[in-house]
Structure 1
Amino acid sequence: MMPAPSDQELLKARLAQARRLLALAQSGLHYATSAFDKERYAEIAGIAHQQLAAMASMQAGDVAALFAPETGYANPKLDVRCAVFNQAGQILLVREAVDNLWSLPGGWADVGVSPAENAAKEVREESGYTVNVVRLLAVWDMLKHGHPPSVFHIWKLVFLGEIVQAGEISGAETDAAQFFDIDDLPALSTGRILPEQIRRLDELRNNSDVEFD
């Protein structure tokens, strides 16, 4: 007899269905040519907004506003991060001002810069360190890892960065930067990075592999 799914598993399954429904509606609105089709796809999007709002304890209008910038053919969102190690093998983490939890420096991919340039920019703004991006370490689909449920489908790119010089934090999203031992990590923002992922990045930097989902 198969074990009953946990509440977390059920929530993830419902989120996956709502995300897929919203993606179909978004792509449908992009390609639809008749007013009838646009009306039906808009109705489907509204249903998906209601489903996501119920699972995230939000108002449907707030969910609609959250997804309002998402137009055109629906794609996963891209999160770009950078793993930076010092000579002692400690990893650089930044503290998120919004929740006082720690993460790798990084964020959503920006238009107009490459993924590697984006990673270096985020490190500079969030930690003060200027780095050279050496290579790609990992491409992760966050749905395949143990992150808390998210309304977005997110792919995460993690690059390896080498320190050039130190500086001052210039962004508003983080308020501290510090190096930590891999086996003595602070409380992490698990929606952004998991402790097992940090350990895996430490392994990947010591070989030539790129891990991908």
Structure 2
Amino acid sequence: MTHDWLAFAKALRSIAQTGQTYTDNKYELERYHQLEALTNQMFAVLGDVPIEKIENLIIPDQGYATPKVDVRGAVFDDSGRVLLVREMKDGLWTLPGGWADINEGPSANVLKEIFEESGHRASQPRLVMLKDRSLHPYAYYSPDHIYKLFYVCTHEGGEFVPNNETDAAAFFDLDDLPPLSEGRTLPVDIHECWAFASSGAPGIYSD
């Protein structure tokens, strides 16, 4: 019998966070803090990394625990090539995107991420799919429960602009993709986005 210990640890962390938000009892609060510390230790063991790295990785959060939202934009040129950016953190390629910012709708977020990371302008974001990251074979584990939103966008032109997250941007043939940062983007993500883009479907309203 196999057990998804990462899912167990995420559930315990969610209980600890929500409990800290709603309890007025100082003894219960102390227990929830202890539970939070214990889940950090579990993440460190599961990821085979020092506890300090886990504590620095997890951004303190408050309130009812909910999934984080990652937005990714698929932009294709007239030849059907896909726009990818190269991440400085691992030197691998991905669809441009990142965490959704508050006070902005997801479609506005993805257009901003495309421009900031690639220097290319895009328009008409159409929601293609929403994936629960934990249900797909992304490369590295995350202590967060993450929803990934994928958009197909229309290319409006541009060129790479140096920034603090990516060091290159280029268009690639779908049958000749570069090494991907598979914690962010899987080959199937790109091919599913292209299947949608080439179908002429209108997409889903997402704001």
TM-score (norm 1): 0.89
Q: 1:196 to 1:68 in 2, by over 3 A?
A: closer
Q: How many residues align?
A: 202
Deviation at 1:210, TM superposition (A): 5.8
The reply to whether residue 28 of structure 1 matches residue 9 of structure 2 is no
Whole-Å separation in 1 of the counterparts to 2:62 and 2:51: 18
Whole-Å separation in 2 of the counterparts to 1:180 and 1:167: 15
The structure 2 residue matched to 1:82, chosen from 67, 73, 81, is: 73
Whole-Å separation in 1 of the counterparts to 2:44 and 2:51: 5
Structure 2: give runs of 5+ residues left out of the alignment: none
2:163 maps to 171
Letter matched to residue 52 of structure 1: F
Structure 1: give runs of 5+ residues left out of the alignment: none
The structure 1 residue matched to 2:113, chosen from 95, 101, 122, is: 122
Greater shift in the superposed pair: 68-77 or 20-29: 68-77
Q: CA RMSD in A?
A: 1.7
8 A Cα contact 2:85 2:118, kept in partner: yes
The reply to whether residue 189 of structure 1 matches residue 181 of structure 2 is yes
Whole-Å separation in 2 of the counterparts to 1:168 and 1:195: 22
Q: 1:51 to 1:33 in 2, by over 3 A?
A: same
8 A Cα contact 2:120 2:156, kept in partner: yes
1:143 maps to 134
Moved over 3 A (4+): none
1:201 maps to 193
Whole-Å separation in 1 of the counterparts to 2:170 and 2:97: 15
Deviation at 1:135, TM superposition (A): 1.1
SS in structure 1 opposite 2:69?
strand
Letter matched to residue 91 of structure 1: V
Percent sequence identity is: 39
Whole-Å separation in 2 of the counterparts to 1:68 and 1:192: 19
Deviation at 1:36, TM superposition (A): 1.0
TM-score (norm 2): 0.91
Letter matched to residue 186 of structure 1: P
8 A Cα contact 2:160 2:169, kept in partner: no
2:45 maps to 54
Letter matched to residue 14 of structure 2: A
The reply to whether residue 18 of structure 1 matches residue 1 of structure 2 is no
